[in-house]
Amino acid sequence: MRSDPEICDHKALNKALISGKTYSHDQIKDLLGKAKAVYCELGSSATDYYLRQCIQKFQRGAIEDSPIAEMFEDDEKAYLQQKLTRVHFPDAEASLMNSCPCVSPKVEILIDFLRQEDSQDFSGLIFVQTRAEVAVLSHLLSEHIPSFDISTFIGASSFAGRKSALSELADVKNQKTTLDDLRHGRKNLIVTTNALEEGIDVSRCKLVICFDRPPNLKSFIQRRGRARKSDSKYIIMFGEEDESDLVATWTALEAQMKEMYMDEMRQLEEIEKEEDTLEEAAPGSKPILNQSTGARVTIDDAVQHLYHFCATLPAAAYVDRSPIFSFQDHSLDPKERAISATVILPNSVDTSVRQACGISWWRTEKMAKRDAALECYRALNHAGLIDEHLLPLGHVDEAVDEACRAVEKRPNLVEVSSQINPWRRVAEHWAAPTKIPTYTVQVMDLDCVCSEMLLLLPSKLPKIPSFDLHWDATTIFRGSVTNRYHDFSSLAMTTAARANAHLLSSVFPGRLNSCEDCTALFVPCGATDLEHWMERSQGTVGVAELGDKIVADSIGLVRDLSRSGVPHAFRDIIHVSTEEVQDILYNGDRDKAMAYNNATEMNPEEAGGVNKNRKITPPYNDLDVKMLDHVTKEEGANDVYNKSNKRLKFNDKFHDVGDDNGTGMITLLNVTRLPKKIDFLHRSTGQDTCTVSVPKPRTLLAKDCAIDRLPYRSSQFAMFIPSILHKIEVAMVVDRLCEEVLWPLQTQNHGLFTTAISASSAREDTDYQRLEFFGDSMLKYMTSLTLIAGHLNWHEGILSHKKDHIVSNTSLASAARKTGLDKFILTKPFTGRKWRPLYNSVLLQTQQEEKREMSSKTLADVVEALLGAAYLDGGSQQAIACLKIFLPDTQWLSPSEACIILSSVYSNPTSNPNPSPPHLTTISHLISHPFTSPSLLTEALTHPSHQGPHTSSSYQRLEYLGDALLDSIITRTAYTHSPPLPTPKLHLIRTALANGHFLGYLCLHHSIALPRTEPLTSDPKNIATTTTSRPFHLWQAMRHASPTVARAQRDCVARYEILHPSIAAQLDHGSTYPWSLLARLEPPKAMSDIVESLLGAIYIDTSGSLDACTGFLEKVGLMAYLRRVMAEEEGEGVALLHPKEEVGQLADRERVRYEVGREGEGGDGVDGEEGRRGGDGEGVDAGRERGKGKRLTCRVFVGEREVAYVGDGMSVAEVKVRAAEVACGVLRREGKGKGRGGVEGKERGGGKEEEEGEEDEDDEVQTEMLVDEEGEKSDSDSYVTADE
């Protein structure tokens, strides 16, 4: 204050100088006073130990930023450092081990007495006056009597000001398990203050020692009551000068206590007799009754029901979910006891019903406890947290729930309606048409229209997007259907039907049954007179009739009459001499042509043993006798293949080609065969080599050919008709879907909904896989938001249970069938093999409704895909309307509506009186978001272990919301990436980035620098300070009240310091995701929960801003890594597939088995061992090797062969991941599978994985030696170790 006049308060300064009362000075005086007390009671060496430990503790805290150092300002720390450096200690600290002058005579007597009382079943308490004596005496006894297991216990008292930090040596946080250790024999002697006199359950002790005289009768009686074992002793230590008076006093008090105890026992017996009659007469203790079900909860079973309710609350590591009861004594007369009880539930329960009090006063604590439990359960029932059976809401039997989940994971086949046929409605409209709408159908090559037809239909068609028509491997046409905006007269329908039949018969003569009954009619677009067009386009002409001007597109199909009119596409006409024709037709080899002709005239079995079913192909390319399948088999070409004698007949052109009109010139036609397919919507596959490559040109004799009058482009269009009609059919199915099921939606982009109902088996242009991935995330997001806003007092356990039920495949599949969605799902692929023209008479026939089988997962996936399509088509309002169609039982809220409800709760100080967290500005800066509702930040940082009646609710509800938000943000970003990522890659990205270990690492890593002042020198006469910085990490902001949580954090931070460089390098530059490193880090689940809860808090605080949530994820580093894994660089993508999944892929059909053991056990330390599940994996200790000094090992077997072995495992999950990585390397080097496995992970089956005796996490590992069938170790060359 002297050095800074601006902040100097002269009055306060003078007062401080006169009185000497400052916080730092008071701390030194307090330390001196307690040191004097220790000296008087325990001796000089004890005082040296006490002062040395207090000073060292302060100095360590100043460096390490412990809670002790945070109680002092920087200037105060510098001042105390200066003063404490003047304290000098004797060098012989080892004098503690000697007797006589180092300890007081009182301590010597105590040590000798305890040595005499030492036994196997010993248990005792030593009461001292001060907390300082507790710490020092326990240390003295541990040094002098090492056979005792000594612990300490002090009270957790505090006062309104700052706590005394300098003189405190004992730590309350380290005594949580002290009493349990005493009960179970892990500790047998506790040094304590009067904190254990009453109110705490302490097991019966064999010895109780009062190191000082009890201050009053109450303390004497309470301490005496702790020695309840048979043959127990109660020892009081005092000086010899007080012996005569005190012994008589204590003896009288002992007798008085026994008399009072017997009186109390008699009173209790009387009370127990009266309780039954008093219970019925107690006012207000009437039972809870549900009239509809008859369920009933009385005061007798209320406690059991309340414990059951607490057991169904969300489980969390280091948290006791039991209710806490406290009792209040209102007695005015000792003989007439009046006791009431209060119960406090865990902080995952809403604050409005977390605390309840009994409504009556009782003579026993047991009845008061029942009364409080009944009233608490009554409040839970009124709050809607109890169902009609008076059981916890949303709770089901764990065994039944697990079985249901297992069944649901296996998709089952269900019977559904067959796919709807939209042409039936078109056939119905043909019954009485007046004017027929017309549509223009074009086939284009690049920007040029190749062919154009009119489509006549009596129904209005929806908008049909253009589509590709794959003519061959290199030629792709573009098809389109557009409205012509004028009608076609019904009087010309007969001519139009004949024109349509003529068009189809040019390429499908064997598939046309009727000319006038077709449902879809195609007629020439530019023909004003159809009759005239029919006359001009019917029949064939010879080559001579073509004239001189020949245009390829105007010439019809060329039919080879020597092969029953097989159609070809015209290319060119050639005139050659008779001498040149041999080279053109037979490649100059006349003998070869003759030999081929002779071979075709004999029975196939006689021609060199040729198979009779094999098509005979000439040994040259210009002539080919192979026939089109649809000509030889479906058009009845009996003259080509004679079934009676199994002989092939050909003309004699191979013997004599002749000439044209004796001119000596031969006319040849250069042609190509038409594609051997009817499905032009899909690219040709490699199964038929004839359709993969471009058809080769052929040469035919002109005199053996006829040419259609119908232009080639018209015939080509006719070949496209089956594919065009299929596209129209799909569009009509989607239109019917929007009309009959999705009618509440204002659909704009029908292409999205076409994708949503197209299964991969349908082989449409797209399938629903990507949309289903997006819709799944949207469903989770919408459901979580609706539930958390619609049920403000539901805890996370109920919310998760309800959400899982809503989004389950069973629920969605049932919704699909109820709404009739099943009949619109496209599953059957279009191939064209069995295509026939559509006929009205056939469509209008009454047919029995057909059924088909479909996977329940497919039904559920289509619902999710439609939800994704609705969101992309019209935003969140469209998505909510879609949800109301399929899941009408849920009262859906839009994101804006939900945010209004949630924001009002946290902005209302009356409904949410949560105190603002300390360092609010620091935490806001850490997460780059200034909270307008500080109570949101408080709740987001509160661990479930932070108990109390007025404590903020835990972060579990916000974490539940944040989990859905994280999933949604990752999914949206990955889905909208350009170019689009394949579905398997999307799944891998979401799995990797929403991983709990990854989020925990981000929580450990994210920090900001805070300024701090430190002394530069230790010279007390010349103290200089400097300003430095210290990191403040995100995990340090969590509010908890558990020493176990603090210990887990410290252990994890120690692992983080070791593993951080490797993990950071892998995330920044590595080609694989660091699965094994993160598993070895194994951050507590609370760290990942904090990230998600803050995400939920920011979302509510910003009224639903996903941009703000994304900004937070950007700040912690998640978005940067997301961008990296989405980047598909050439050969440099990040492999995200989990090593265990990759092993399954590489193993193919072989079984994969993991065997976990411990190093050094089972013989040579490498034998396999079995493990057991140890819990849900929460916390640092779950599955960890428990500090037994032996790390875990893991062997990986593929089939019966051991392929990998690793050791030095910290947990079961971590050692198996590392073993899987080694196994992947071995299998890749052996050339098995696809290698790295990235996107292929979801596309392939993979091997069957089996784990011997354990799953993902172990609390213990049971040892069992495992050897192969021959009793010998496997070949060492068949596997490698991690070091290799």
Report, as residue numbers or ranges, the catalytic residues. Answer: 776, 864
Query: Looking at this protein, which amino acid is placed at residue 491?
Result: L
State how far the Cα of 742 lies from the Cα of 882, in Å rounded to an integer. Answer: 7
Query: How open is the CA angle 640-643-649, to the nearest 5 degrees?
Result: 35
1050-1057 long-range Cβ contacts below 8 angstroms, 24+ apart: 1051/1180, 1052/1000, 1052/1004, 1052/1081, 1052/1082, 1052/1083, 1052/1084, 1052/1087, 1052/1180, 1053/1004, 1055/1080, 1055/1081, 1055/1082, 1056/1001, 1056/1004, 1056/1005, 1056/1081, 1056/1083
State how far the Cα of 1041 lies from the Cα of 976, in Å rounded to an integer. Answer: 43
What kind and span of H or E run contains 1044? helix 1043-1069
Cα radius of gyration rounded to whole Å, the chain:
44
Closest to 1195 measured CA to CA, from 1277, 1149, 1251, 1145: 1251
The tokens for 281 are 């007469």
CB 1005, CB 1077: distance < 8 Å: no
**163 CB-side CA count, 13 A:** 14
Q: For the beta carbon of residue 431, count every other beta carbon within 10 angstroms.
A: 9
Residue 92: partners with Cβ closer than 8 Å, 6 or more residues away: none
Closest to 112 measured CA to CA, from 212, 229, 237, 248: 237
State how far the Cα of 217 lies from the Cα of 201, in Å rounded to an integer. Answer: 21
Secondary structure (3-state) at 1196: strand
The residue to which tokens 């409080």 are assigned: 372
The tokens for 270 are 């009387």
Q: Is the peptide bond before 979 cis (omega within 30 degrees of 0)?
A: yes
Secondary structure (3-state) at 516: coil
Query: Looking at this protein, which amino acid is placed at residue 512?
Result: L
State how far the Cα of 1240 lies from the Cα of 1234, in Å rounded to an integer. Answer: 8
CB 349, CB 795: distance < 8 Å: yes
Residues in the chain: 1284
165-168 long-range Cβ contacts below 8 angstroms, 24+ apart: 165/27, 165/58, 165/68, 165/71, 165/72, 166/27, 166/28, 166/30, 166/31, 166/54, 166/58, 166/80, 167/27, 167/30, 167/31, 167/34, 167/54, 167/132, 168/54, 168/68, 168/131
Residue 787: partners with Cβ closer than 8 Å, 6 or more residues away: 794, 799, 802, 803
The tokens for 338 are 């009046």
What kind and span of H or E run contains 94? none
DSSP secondary structure code for residue 461 in this structure: P
Task: Cite the beta strand spans of 1107-1260 per DSSP E.
Answer: 1152-1158, 1170-1171, 1192-1198, 1201-1209, 1249-1251
Query: Looking at this protein, which amino acid is placed at residue 789?
Result: A
Question: Hey, which residues does 1154 pair with through a beta bridge?
Answer: 1196, 1251
What kind and span of H or E run contains 574? strand 566-577
Q: How far apart are the first and last CA of the chain?
A: 66
Burial class (CB in 10 A: 0-12, 13-18, 19+), 63: exposed
